[in-house]
């Protein structure tokens, strides 16, 4: 199975499959420090909410290893965790993983015990994500009728997670069940996660996939070519508002206009129990150069401003279902909302 992160304990490095170069080139970065992991996340060598959390967890192991011989190891660890947790604001999984790693050493006195505790916690986080994805795939694929064509946005596959994927996990499980006719993948400008990553992942698995420009999605829905829209998530509020890759909200509006199910797939670690409403989610804005690269320019022409929000918010009323490893709820119908509450 494709895995974007490989922990090498004997070498003391986290190997990161550099997704900025896929599918043209397969290159692995060797991250030997928490700051190197932070740089890989900030630069999107590793991306995807769950994968970011898993990378941060192994980054925390590198951090604790780097300070284990110091008297003030806990302060050193905390400083590195603060820096690592600040690199991308929207995906909740980053902060969630950092908190889990901090908690794993909270009651530990000796530094060497803290190293063991961190390594065990990072391994648990990674294994739990893969198990969650498989359960999401199993639960979510049952929502789909036989012969379904699914439209998906961005990349939510093995490259964005601990393996199998979230929305792509449902797609893979539906394909394994013989229920899937094919997939329509949006290119997902400007970073092209769909064109470069999703189409490649699905083709590698022999799953029929057609790539479209983002702006073709609504027309294909109007033409009856789409039976369901399935996307991932970066942060979900208690009422079911969903932060996800820019363009998700437009897909939800078009899906509602054509009475097409709009399904969100995410592990429960993507739910932010502190968040009542999606409006309070910080949206990451990225460099203008990401947009202008398609025009062969490294910056905007004189007199032209650029807006490059990397995420948007889909209100709960447009979300037909949220599929997690713990179950399914329907924010649009107000059903199963206990799944999104802190006690879930």
Residues that bind ligand LNRAV4D5 (CB under 6 A): 47-50, 154, 156, 160-161, 166, 193, 231-232, 234, 244-245, 310
Q: Consult the annotation and say whether 74 binds a ligand.
A: no
Closest residue to ligand LNRAV4D5 in the complex (CB): 232
CB of 68 to ligand LNRAV4D5, least distance (A): 31
Q: Which helix (H) or strand (E) holds 28?
A: strand 28-31
Cβ closest to ligand LNRAV4D5, residue 111 vs residue 263: 263
Rounded distance between C-alpha atoms, residue 205 and residue 171, angstroms: 11
Q: Which helix (H) or strand (E) holds 43?
A: none
Cβ closest to ligand LNRAV4D5, residue 237 vs residue 244: 244
Q: Consult the annotation and say whether 155 binds a ligand.
A: no
Cβ closest to ligand LNRAV4D5, residue 51 vs residue 117: 51
Residue 93: strand, helix, or coil: helix
Cβ closest to ligand LNRAV4D5, residue 105 vs residue 265: 265
CB of 49 to ligand LNRAV4D5, least distance (A): 4
CB of 194 to ligand LNRAV4D5, least distance (A): 10
Please report how the helices 92-106 and 73-84 are oriented relative to each other, as an axis angle in degrees rounded to 10. 170
Rounded distance between C-alpha atoms, residue 287 and residue 276, angstroms: 29
Q: Consult the annotation and say whether 47 binds a ligand.
A: yes
- Contact between 102 and 135 under an 8 Å Cβ cutoff? The reply is no
CB of 4 to ligand LNRAV4D5, least distance (A): 11
Edge-to-edge strand list for the sheet holding 327-329: 209-212, 180-186, 148-152, 228-231, 262-265, 321-324, 327-329
- The residues that are catalytic are 234
Q: Consult the annotation and say whether 88 binds a ligand.
A: yes
Q: Consult the annotation and say whether 132 binds a ligand.
A: no
Torsion of CA 287, 276, 165, 226, to 10 degrees: -90
Rounded distance between C-alpha atoms, residue 271 and residue 232, angstroms: 12
Binding-site residues for substrate, in ranges, read: 47-49, 88, 193, 244-245
Binding residues: 47-49, 88, 193, 244-245
């Amino acid at each position: 199975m494709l895995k974007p992160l490989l922990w090498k304990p004997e070498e003391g490095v986290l190997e990161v499959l550099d997704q900025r170069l896929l599918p043209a080139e397969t290159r692995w970065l060797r991250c030997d420090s928490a700051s190197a992991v932070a740089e890989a996340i900030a630069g999107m060598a590793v991306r995807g909410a769950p994968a970011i959390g898993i990378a941060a967890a192994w980054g925390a192991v590198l951090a604790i290893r780097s300070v284990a011989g110091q008297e003030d190891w806990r302060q050193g660890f905390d400083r590195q965790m603060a820096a690592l947790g600040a690199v991308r604001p929207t995906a909740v999984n980053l902060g969630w993983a950092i908190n889990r790693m901090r908690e794993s050493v909270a009651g530990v006195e000796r530094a060497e015990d803290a190293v063991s505790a961190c390594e065990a916690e990072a391994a648990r986080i990674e294994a739990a994500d893969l198990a969650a994805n498989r359960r999401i795939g199993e639960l979510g694929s049952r929502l789909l009728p036989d012969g379904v064509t699914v439209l998906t946005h961005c990349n939510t596959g093995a490259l964005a997670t601990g393996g199998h994927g979230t929305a792509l996990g449902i797609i893979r499980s539906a394909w394994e069940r013989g229920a899937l006719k094919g997939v329509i993948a949006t290119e997902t400008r400007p970073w092209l996660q769909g064109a470069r990553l999703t189409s490649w992942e699905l083709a590698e698995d022999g799953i029929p996939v057609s790539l479209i420009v983002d702006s073709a999605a609504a027309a294909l829905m109007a033409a009856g070519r789409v039976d369901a829209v399935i996307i991932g998530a970066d942060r979900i509020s208690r009422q079911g508002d969903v932060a996800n890759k820019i363009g998700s909200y437009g897909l939800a509006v078009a899906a509602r206009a054509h009475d097409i199910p709009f399904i969100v797939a995410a592990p429960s670690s993507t739910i932010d129990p502190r968040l009542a409403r999606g409006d309070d989610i910080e949206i990451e804005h990225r460099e203008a150069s990401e947009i202008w690269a398609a025009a062969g320019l490294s910056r905007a022409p004189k007199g032209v401003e650029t807006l490059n929000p990397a995420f948007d918010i889909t209100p709960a009323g447009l979300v037909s279902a949220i599929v997690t490893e713990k179950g399914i709820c329907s924010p649009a119908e107000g059903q199963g909302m206990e799944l999104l509450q802190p006690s879930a």
